[in-house]
Amino acid sequence: MIGSRHRLAAVVGVFATAATVVACGGESAGPGGQAGPPQPGGTLRYGLSQAPSCSDPAQAGSNQSIYVARQIVDSLTDQDPKTGAITPWLARSWEVSPDAKVFTFRLADGVTFSDGTPLTADSVRDTFDAVVRLGGAKAPLGTSYLTNYVGTTAVDKLTARVEFSQPNAQFLQASSTPQLGILGQATNAKPAEARCAGDNVGSGPFTYAEYKQDVSVALAKRAGYHWGSDVFGHEGEAYLDRIEFTVVPESGVRTGSLVSGQLDAISDALPQDAPQIEAVGGRVLSTSNPGTPFGLHTNVTRGPLRDPAVRQALLPALDRQQLVDTVLGPQFKIATSTLASATPAYTDLSARLPYDPAKAKSILDQAGWTPGPDGIRAKNGERLSFSVTFSQVFAGNQAILELVQQQLRQVGVELRLDLVSLPEWTAKMNGKDYDSTYGNSTRADGDILRTSFAVTGRNLNARGPIPALDETLDKQLATNDPAARAELIKTAQQQILDNGLYVPTIELSQAIGAAAGTQDLKFEASARLQFFDTWLSGR
């Protein structure tokens, strides 16, 4: 069984529009001062801004889906949100071979899944094998993390050896993600659609009590849970008895429900709602997402985006500060690279991304794109017009792109907005059926660049080989030394801009509205919510 162990306090600085709440250990700082020691029990009512797309952690892609699915699954490791260090969870220790091809995990004893079956090395093997079977269309992130996966061997009951045919230095961090969370055999044996539709068997601190697709989800506390991550703030079971997630798409309705006491926390709190929330003792908790910021992935095989000059002209054509100031608010940041600033190995490339419409026009002039009667440029009879395919996975997407549309028109570029549902967006991405696509990817590791941009990854640019970039992305996988790997990731960020593969706009931030009685609602390293330490006061 698991003995007592030293715990790392999960200290996350969360920036509110008017106040800062920091919680750690056994005390919680509420808006009115110390709320006292945590009290177990109660039901937390949470308002999601979008419906969860899938109940399966391996297939969950949107933040709203992961907020739910993360709670029912544990991972081999965890990542400290303050330091970025990889820490124990289901695996109490591990070894990585010098060539980064073999990862050996020693599992905690006494862990069980929610159906009562024990966690063993076979569970690790079955989970990773199942992710590979799901494939890149269903589980793009998990599949990318398992690139060149050979297999997992159960060395003994509690020792799993994971092997790759090529170096895979990013895998240790990947083992902390919900997409590679360890699931029970009852879930691993299901086909993809069945895994998305409802109950899944994990070893996490909560279990599915009810799942109504596109409507609501209820989670119940897992009785007897005592194998939490070293990052968690306490040992034993979660404090909350139950979490009820309701889909409330309208921002004003979410805020009103929080203020009136019908909800205890909400997603996507807007800056203008902060005074109303704070007036009743609540607060807005915010943190920046690591990974790739929001931006346009350019399909380099279609329309005018085939021209590298057009892609380069888009970079200085955008006034990113105006996007933040007009659409978002002070808790959001402009994108200053192809990685978000909270990502390990991020490099500030803001000097490459100034707002300079005159430069954008000059690039287009030199490339032969001349303004037409309506101001939109053309070359050899081809209009400088392309579409951007996007969904409303983030509430501000449409307003941001409408402003981007206006900014590009000022330099002679016509941007057409193609708003689709999340399933349609996913299908178009998988089929490369777009001129450009707008989105972001969250991960606290620079390897997210390989996932999104590599010719062997999701390849959202539909590109062919770019030898220098391909070599850099491959080399960082083969580099165990953190400093050397960071230099390679720095180079990759620059090369992506050099080739016009991405047009960054803004960094995504999570802005969570919390009622006065909602304590210790925390962000994990990838800016998703962790409810294990959350408790309710004043009930």
CA neighbor of 54 nearest in space, from 496, 447, 426, 455: 426
Contact 10, 231 (CB under 8 A): yes
Mean pLDDT across the chain: 90
516/488 same-domain check: no
Give φ, ψ of 206 to 5 degrees: -130, 160
Please state the rounded mean pLDDT for residues 505-533: 94
| 194 vs 62, more confident | 194
Q: What angle do CA 100, 180, 391 make, to 5 degrees?
A: 120
The CA dihedral of 257, 262, 264, 269, to the nearest 10 degrees, is: -10
Q: How far is CA 348 from CA 23, 81, 332, 503, in A?
A: 30, 21, 16, 15
**Measured distance CA(211)–CA(310) in Å, rounded:** 46
Please state the rounded mean pLDDT for residues 421-427: 85
CA neighbor of 206 nearest in space, from 80, 4, 57: 57
Through-space distance between the first and last CA atoms of the chain, rounded to whole angstroms = 35
Within a domain: residue 225? yes
Within a domain: residue 315? yes
Q: Looking at residue 69, which CATH number applies to its domain?
A: 3.40.190.10
- Exposed, middle or buried, 1 (CB in 10 Å: 0-12/13-18/19+)? exposed
Within a domain: residue 105? yes
Within a domain: residue 214? yes
Please state the rounded mean pLDDT for residues 356-378: 98
With pLDDT > 90 as the criterion, what percentage of the chain qualifies? Answer: 80
Residue-wise over 346-381: b if at least 16 C-beta within 10 A, else e? Answer: bbebeebbebbbebbbebbeebebeeeeeebbbbee
Question: Would you give the DSSP letter of residue 72?
Answer: G
Question: Would you give the DSSP letter of residue 119?
Answer: P
What pLDDT is stored for residue 177 in this prediction? 95
Look at residue 365 and tell me whether its pLDDT is greater than 70.
Answer: yes
**Measured distance CA(532)–CA(200) in Å, rounded:** 18
503/516 same-domain check: no
Give φ, ψ of 327 to 5 degrees: -100, -35
Question: Would you give the DSSP letter of residue 248?
Answer: -
181/313 same-domain check: no
Look at residue 8 and tell me whether its pLDDT is greater than 50.
Answer: no
**Measured distance CA(334)–CA(29) in Å, rounded:** 30
Q: Looking at residue 478, which CATH number applies to its domain?
A: 3.10.105.10
**Measured distance CA(535)–CA(533) in Å, rounded:** 7
143/48 same-domain check: yes
281/295 same-domain check: no
Within a domain: residue 82? yes
What pLDDT is stored for residue 254 in this prediction? 96
Q: What is the pLDDT of residues 68-115, one digit of tens each?
A: 999 999 999 999 999 889 999 999 999 999 999 999 999 999 999 999
The CA dihedral of 524, 526, 528, 534, to the nearest 10 degrees, is: 0
What pLDDT is stored for residue 55 in this prediction? 93
215/316 same-domain check: no
3-state secondary structure of 461: coil
Q: How many domains does the chain have?
A: 2
| CB atoms inside a 10 Å sphere around CB 42 | 18
Q: What is the pLDDT of residues 280-289, one digit of tens each?
A: 999 999 999 9
212/311 same-domain check: no
| Residue 65 identity | S
136/217 same-domain check: yes
Query: Residue 89 is encoded by which pair of tokens?
Result: 């969870």
Please state the rounded mean pLDDT for residues 52-61: 90
What pLDDT is stored for residue 331 in this prediction? 80
Contact 33, 234 (CB under 8 A): no
Within a domain: residue 37? no
**Measured distance CA(174)–CA(116) in Å, rounded:** 26
Q: What is the pLDDT of residues 411-420, one digit of tens each?
A: 999 999 999 9
With pLDDT > 70 as the criterion, what percentage of the chain qualifies? Answer: 93
338/305 same-domain check: yes
**Beta strand pairing status for 102-107 and 86-88?**
unpaired
Within a domain: residue 6? no
Look at residue 245 and tell me whether its pLDDT is greater than 80.
Answer: yes
Look at residue 376 and tell me whether its pLDDT is greater than 90.
Answer: yes
Question: Would you give the DSSP letter of residue 456?
Answer: T
Give φ, ψ of 244 to 5 degrees: -115, 115
Look at residue 460 and tell me whether its pLDDT is greater than 50.
Answer: yes
Q: What is the pLDDT of residues 174-230, one digit of tens each?
A: 999 999 999 999 999 999 999 998 789 999 999 999 998 888 999 999 999 999 999
What pLDDT is stored for residue 7 in this prediction? 26
Cα R_g (the chain), whole angstroms: 23
231/370 same-domain check: no
Please state the rounded mean pLDDT for residues 507-528: 94
What pLDDT is stored for residue 172 in this prediction? 96
Residue 41 backbone zone (phi > 0: left; psi -120 to 50: alpha; other: beta): left
Give φ, ψ of 11 to 5 degrees: -105, 115
Contact 181, 229 (CB under 8 A): no
Q: Which residues pair with 183 in a beta bridge?
A: 202
Q: How far is CA 508 from CA 16, 18, 284, 291, 394, in A?
A: 15, 19, 15, 9, 9
Q: What is the pLDDT of residues 128-166, one digit of tens each?
A: 999 999 998 899 999 999 999 999 999 999 999 999 999
448/325 same-domain check: yes
**Beta strand pairing status for 91-96 and 102-107?**
antiparallel
Token pair 């092997």 in the structure block, residue: 163
Query: Residue 183 is encoded by which pair of tokens?
Result: 């699931």
Which residues form the domain of 469?
291-507
Within a domain: residue 318? yes
Look at residue 253 and tell me whether its pLDDT is greater than 90.
Answer: yes
Residues in contact with 164: Cβ distance below 8 Å, sequence separation at least 6, in sequence order? 100, 101, 102, 147, 148, 149, 150, 171
Split at pLDDT 50, 70, 90, the class of 539 is low
Look at residue 423 and tell me whether its pLDDT is greater than 70.
Answer: yes
Token pair 């909602």 in the structure block, residue: 518
315/231 same-domain check: no
Look at residue 395 and tell me whether its pLDDT is greater than 80.
Answer: no
